[in-house]
Amino acid sequence: MGFDRTHLPETVSFFEGEGLPLTGRGKWRSTQCRFHGGSDSLRINTESGGWCCMACGAHGGDVLAYRIAVTGEDFITAAKALGAWVEDGRPAPRNPAPLSPRDALTLLASEANLAAVAAANVGRGVALNAADCERLLVAVGRINLVREWYQP
């Protein structure tokens, strides 16, 4: 029984699921800082999950550290909430999904519609601009996050 890092949620999906869309390209992305209210000063390492605010200095090494900092939960409670606490060889059940099934379906429909429109535009030879590409990546992240919430 204990912590298993391999069960932590994927970084981009986690932060976007927290309502923090990541902008930029490459390994480090930007988002708002909930610790001081900055609009784009929090940097997220998409590979390790590490994060650091360039304005207030809040920082941590992974999504677990972020959850602990934001919620004030202890290590074990936060690890269980993220599905990274293993008991009897199986991850502890995650907290219930933050959306009702109806709201999750509404979100999925909206994001799938956005993806379909983007695909149709590309099919007609319309090149997506950087903002459209970024929004499409956010949609994919949200779709994957909802899948994780409801996957048995």
pLDDT tens profile 14-70? 998 888 999 998 999 999 998 888 889 999 999 999 999 999 999 999 999 999 999
* Pick from 101, 106, 113, 119: nearest CA to 139: 113
Is residue 45 within 8 Å of residue 27, measured between CB atoms? Answer: yes
Residues 69 and 108 in one domain: no
Q: 10 lies in which domain range?
A: 2-91
- pTM beyond 0.95: the answer is no
Which residue is associated with the tokens 């909802």? Answer: 146
CATH of the domain at 47: 3.90.580.10
**First CA to last CA distance, the chain:** 21
d(CA 41, CA 56): 9
**Angle ∠(80,69,31) on CA atoms, nearest 5:** 105
Q: How many domains does the chain have?
A: 2
The answer to whether the beta carbons of residues 56 and 35 sit under 8 Å apart is yes
The mean of the pLDDT values for the chain is 86
3-state DSSP assignment of residue 42: strand
Q: Are residues 109 and 144 in the same domain?
A: yes
